[in-house]
Structure 1
Amino acid sequence: MSKAIGIDLGTTNSAVGLKILDTRIITNAEGEDSTPSVVSVQRKKKLIGQKEEFLVGRHALDFLRQDPANTVTSIKRLMGRGFHDPDVRRMLDEGRYSYRIAPLSGGSEQSVAVVLHGKEYTPEQISAKILEKIRNDCKAELKDEVEYAVVTVPAYFNDKQKHSTRVAASLAGLKVQRLLPEPTAAAISFGVEELNADEGQTILVFDLGGGTFDLAVLTIANGQFIEQGKGGDMWMGGDDIDNLLREYVYRETESEHEIEDLPALIDALPDVEKSRFLGDMNAKVEAAKIRLGAQTSAVVEILGVLRDKDGDILDVEVEITREHFESLLQPFVDRAMELTRNILGSIDFEPNLIDRVVMVGGSSSIPLIIRAMRDLFGDDKVLLHERPMLAIAEGAAILAHRLADSYECPVCGKQVAQTDDICPHCGFDLKTNLTDKGVLDIVHTTSHDYYLALENEDDYQLVEKNTLLPFHTQYEFKLLDPKQRLIRFQFYNTVNEKRESIGDLWLGLKIEGDEEAADENALPEVLLDLDIDSDNLITVSANIKDKPDIRVSRTLSRGKADERLFIELQKSIDEANRGDYKYYAAYDFLDRVIQIADMINRLIDPKTGEEDRTLGKQIEQRREIAHRLLEKGESPLANLYYAEYFLFQVGEFIPDKDRKDLETVMEEFRRQNETGTLQQIMDARDKLFAELDKSMGLQALVSLQSAAEICHERDPARAPYFEKYIIDIGSALHQGDGANAQKLLNEIMPEAKKELDWKEEQKLHISHGIQR
């Protein structure tokens, strides 16, 4: 029967657990409790060409020294990130990683790729290789299928990062039962093992892993795990402590040998020697960090590799005392304590309300960190987890067992359903056992504050941090203009007081000719529905109030091509608003933008997350045509609408054959506007103009009607002047008095032309904002 596992997908190491009767860690194919989160792509020669092979874990780690440019570490730090993200730029500037990080071709500004052997891979694809190895190793160990998993994520992962984790799991062939915050997983491991059924406690989990620092406060009672608050920093971890030590070793070496730029000497090494040196340095500073946790000093030593500018051997040999290590580490610890106090403050807790502090993660055992936590909470409350590197995987495994459709009875070992209170095979009291030794339920909360950007740089808070999940609400907003036809909802969250975009929602209004508003000056209202599930994944939908059919919906934070296209669409609108374009050319552009927004909304399959690449190419083509038409000052859609208006107003006066010919040409023109090239659109328009020119007199009458409508908009007091002429000309035509009709037209058309010219010269600003 297919198994459900719990996975701690870590920055530096990953682990997997399984709960049957007891919870255990499943060793990998190499016999290790944890798998290094390292992926290397190697090329093997074939008789014809080369074959790319993915190595994961220990075997990939072996290539970190030999081929660092094609070996990826700390990929978790790139999950859900964009190339221009300040923290990603910091990764590049620090030069800690030898593999190439680049913008993702075809992705949005919120996406990134790693380049191995000249080929792009997304962070999701690399992470999927780690998850795939974990899954395959479990299948081999358990001799069974592994289909479901609870996958842990940092408590402060934003929504894009969570979505990326789900994508990675899917690529690895896993169905995610739940994305579980890492400190919550550690709390489950602690609570199930350490607390009695009738014992309730409020605990703070301090999780300092390889790449992230997580905090969570939870109340545990009777199998219930209630998240009170979450916090931390996605860019604090053991890697950063290693970097502090590395920089210290470099400074001391420069001082000892009286050189100015040690990194420049390292860069000057041949590639193989440089890779070996950097690999040795990474390994030795990590070993020194671990040693300094138990000893009073450690030595980082690399001999016979570096040379100075004169070619002389330059040995690296630096002793680090515990005292000096702690002085280097103090700002890091101060920041950790600040974040710990912040999470308490965010939920109005004092340290004395915390019953127990559980320390997990490899770096949480550093003595200075433990002392700082004891100073804050008291010696007796701070507990270092017995298995700090494995607690998260154990907690995930316990929840995976709870979420599975069925599990093994602890007494007879036969399958029972999650809904069974009593084992149907042996009569064992399953419900009491679950309360005593399991997880009945987890009450999750939001990790961040969520906002909607309103017009004039105003913001509206949609959801407050630490709101109970799942969550649903509806909000009502107004448009900026009665005639506004495009709406953009801009969503973002705040992470440690930094504003992060989590996506947009665009809604275009295709107003039909007979949909005149009861009050043309009234601002239309729009309803926004927001849903956040237990995994903190957000779905938003919007519709015009009282018009539920004008609706759009999407999941935020995907970072896929639709986000890039929406960003480009916004830039196009901004350019159009800045430019000096004729009214009808801008109106044509607006119509095309609305069509493009609708196409982008359909680009990503909401169920599979797959991109419709054919549609993507069509969107690019439509956007290019819209731009070129705007630059040329052309307005084919306005011409089409004029032809439709012409038929509506005077179709009864056109001979049947001419009317049918005009309708045929209009239909072809409409089709070319939707799918044709720029040249095909213009050719079809020429045919339309030729057909309309058969009725020049009637066109003049329609122009007069348009002028009257413009006058009503511009100067309502003068509108009756035009309307009288229209009535008189219509009467003359019905009486067959063409001469009088023409006479009246000749009298009024100079005035009508002034109105038409005025309209053409107006500036059309494309509004798309909202307000409360």
Structure 2
Amino acid sequence: MLFDNDLNPVLGIDLGTTFSAIARWDGHGPRVYQTRTGEDTLQSVVYLDPKTNELLVGKVAFRRGLIYPENMAIGIKRYMDDASQKIVLAGQAFSPIELSARILERLYKDVAEKCPTNLFRSRATVVTVPYYFKAHQCENTSKAAELANINCIGLIQEPIAASLAYAWQIVQSSNAKKFAENILVFDLGGGTFDLTLFRLEKSPEKLLFEVLATGGDDRLGGMDFDECLFQFLLEKADLTLDGLTDLEERKARQKILEQVIEAKHTLSATQTEYITVTDVIPGRHIDTIVTRSEFEGCIQTYIDKIERVMERLWATTNMQPQQVDRVILVGGSSKIPCIKSLVSDIIGAVKVYQNTNPWLCVAEGAAIYAAYLDNPEVFGRNIEIRTRTSHALGVEIKEKEFYPLIAANRKTPCQQTQVFSTTSDYQTSLDINIYQGCDASVKNNTFIGTIGIYDLPKRPQGELDIWVTFNVNESQMLSVIVEVEGIRKAATLKFA
């Protein structure tokens, strides 16, 4: 086993939408650190104290935000697709990268404070991202880690991290020299949904993780369930927040949402929950009982979405649910009874693995991967991860249309060449705009970069061949080569 230094460990961080966690590799396995308040997870909430100008993170930020919601930011991860977006707290504007960096920094400081002053320094840290994140979302996460100054040596997709945590248990408990399973990672957290099907193969020489198919929705999670129950309570109490000032409405929302979140958790264990919220607006209260079936009815639209994502996964792989050997549930929302029942009904209850902690296994897997990057002998064998493209890759053509060269869910490495031509007579230059996404219009996809070609041979429209080659390697790097008569230009881009 690896020697571990308490002052210079390797770390894994699960940067979640609603909760985050940090773990270390201790030489024998992953261990989750507790926060300064003695909990395994940290609420991914940031609050700006207008009196001290201090940014608070975690439970204290959420509690203060219930009183002054205009000073609080929640669900920051959902804004990572737009680094230019401004989140205003107490009149000050912050980017999603800046606020994410604060969460990472707080997690790191909670660990550092357990050691003598100024002596703690992680020698390697890995941060997680959803598999369904696009290029710029991953890049923005990397920037947040850099801003937090945590020595981040890489990112790992959350379902791969969860599978690593599971694989570590298999390596420790199984005496079999060879082992193979089809594993479905069902990751439903506070803000995002990832569905990833793997082939895990263990041999004395190697652990192989081969992604067979992916799916998901980066706008589906526990926060949406909270909003559904919130609206249900308003209707049940015959209340409306219309006519309130912005500040009054935010305060009323936070007051109700605190009880909504607590009720959602309680209804996972009981059939009914009594909810009381006094003075939602002056003189008007919420005082009612909510049943589990009522809550499930509230979120039925999202359950249907989840089921459709699962159906597309089987269609993509030409596999049947019964061919899945194991299901790993990740994320707090995966423990909601109707969600768990949905998975059990489709795959089989006996296949749902019960020995991973859905709130912590992603951070644990990230710590394992950080240890592997730091020293590949951590497993006593090599780790090989074979990925697939989570979104299509292509170029902009006339009328701002998206032309895909590499399809979504294509096994990497892969390569594709396409011949294009000029769209006007005697063009002397051409910008090739590269996008990632699955929409027919480039405006709804993610811009990755541009390759400019100059001094083109002058030809009438449509008579100059332009050869464009996309090549995606195992590390998810996109190489683009553009060739015209006597001209060859290449660029390498990281897309996720």
Per the normalisation by structure 2, the TM-score is: 0.87
1: CA distance between counterparts of 2:295 and 2:402?
44
The answer to which of 387-396 and 485-494 deviates more is: 485-494
- Per-residue Cα deviation, 1:710-769 (whole angstroms, up to 9, x for no partner): xxxxxxxxxxxxxxxxxxxxxxxxxxxxxxxxxxxxxxxxxxxxxxxxxxxxxxxxxxxx
User: How far does residue 529 in structure 1 lie from its aligned partner after superposition?
Assistant: 4.8
Q: 1:486–1:506: 8 Å Cα contact kept in structure 2?
A: no
Matched, 1:14 2:15: no
Question: Which residue in the other structure is 2:436 paired with?
Answer: 493
User: Which residue does 1:288 correspond to in 2?
Assistant: 263
Indicate the SS of the match to 1:461. strand
Q: Specify the alignment match of 2:89 in structure 1.
A: 116
Indicate which of 398, 405, 414 corresponds to 1:455. Answer: 398
Instruction: Work out the CA distance in 1 between the residues paired with 2:449 and 2:289.
Output: 53
State the SS of the aligned residue for 1:179. strand
What RMSD in Å do the two structures reach over aligned CA positions?
A: 2.9
**2:139 corresponds to 1:163:** yes
Is the contact between residue 403 and residue 440 of structure 2 (CA under 8 Å) also seen in structure 1? Answer: no
Question: CA separation of 1:276/1:480 partners in 2, compared to 1, >3 Å: closer, same or farther?
Answer: closer
Structure 2 letter corresponding to 1:172: A
Q: How far apart are the structure 2 equivalents of 1:192 and 1:215?
A: 21
State the distance in 1 between where 2:462 and 2:42 align.
62
Counterpart amino acid of 1:217?
A: L
Structure-2 change in CA distance of 1:31 and 1:539 (3 Å): farther
Q: Is the 1:19–1:401 Cα contact (8 Å) retained in structure 2?
A: yes
In structure 1, the residue matched to 2:213 is 229
For 1:209, give the aligned amino acid.
G
Aligned residue for 1:315?
Answer: 285
* 2:427 matched residue in structure 1: 484
Residue-by-residue CA offset, 1:54-82 (whole Å, 9 max, x unaligned): 2122232222123221211101001023x
**What is the aligned partner in structure 1 of residue 183 from structure 2?**
203
The residue aligned with 1:505 is: 450
Whether contact under 8 Å (1:502, 1:557) holds in the other structure is no
Match in the other structure for 2:235: 251
Task: Classify 1:126/1:263 alpha carbon distance in 2 versus 1 (closer, same or farther; 3 Å).
Answer: same
**Which of 169, 172, 177 is residue 148 of structure 2 equivalent to?**
172
Q: Secondary structure at the match of 1:263?
A: coil
Counterpart Cα distance in 2 of 1:485 and 1:248: 61
2:35 alignment partner, SS class: coil
Match of 1:388 among 358, 363, 386: 358
Deviation at 1:191, TM superposition (A): 2.0
User: What's the % identity of the aligned pairs?
Assistant: 27
2:26 matches 1:26? no
CA contact (8 A) 2:255 2:280 kept: no
The one of 265, 272, 292 aligned to 1:297: 272
Letter in 1 for 2:265: I
Q: Deviations over 1:115-171 (max 9, x none)?
A: 234333211111111111222223333653125322111121122211111111111
How far did 1:504 drift?
Answer: 4.5
- Give the match for residue 356 of structure 1: 326
Measure, in 2, the Cα distance between the counterparts of 1:24 and 1:497: 45
Superposed displacement of residue 557, structure 1: 7.0
Aligned-pair CA distance for 1:508 = 5.0
Alignment partner, residue 487 of structure 2: 547
Distance change >3 Å, CA 476–CA 247, structure 1 → 2: same
User: Cα 1:471–1:132, aligned 2, differ >3 Å: closer, same or farther?
Assistant: farther
- Say whether residues 1:190 and 2:177 are aligned partners: no
Number of aligned positions between the proteins: 476
Deviations 1:190-212 (A, max 9, x none): 12214635221001011110001
Instruction: Tell me, yes or no, if structure 1 residue 343 matches structure 2 residue 350.
Output: no
Higher normalized helix content (fraction of residues):
1
The CA deviation string for residues 367-405 of structure 1, in whole angstroms up to 9 with x for no partner, is: 11122212211222223454110011111111111011x
Partner of 2:80: 79
Structure of greater Rg = 1
Q: SS of the counterpart of 1:27?
A: coil
Question: Closer, same or farther in 2 for the Cα pair 1:37/1:547, shift >3 Å?
Answer: same
User: What residue identity is the alignment partner of 1:233?
Assistant: D
2:126 to 147, 150, 159: 150
Kept in 2: contact 1:249–1:300 (CA 8 A):
no
Could you tell me the TM-score, scaled by structure 1's length?
A: 0.57
Q: 1:36 and 2:43 equivalent? A: yes
Kindly indicate whether residue 103 of structure 2 is the aligned counterpart of residue 125 of structure 1.
no
Select the residue among 181, 197, 211 that pairs with 2:157.
181
| Secondary structure of 2:312's aligned partner | helix
**What is the letter of the counterpart of residue 15 of structure 1?**
A
Contact 2:405 2:417 in 1 (8 A): no
Question: What 5-or-longer segments of structure 1 have no aligned partner?
Answer: 46-51, 82-103, 105-110, 255-260, 308-312, 407-417, 421-429, 559-772
CA distance in 2, matches of 1:38, 1:238: 15
**Which 5+ residue runs of structure 2 have no aligned equivalent?**
none
Structure 2 partner of 1:279? 254
Partner amino acid, structure 1, of 2:186? F
CA–CA separation in structure 2 for the residues paired with 1:377 and 1:547: 53
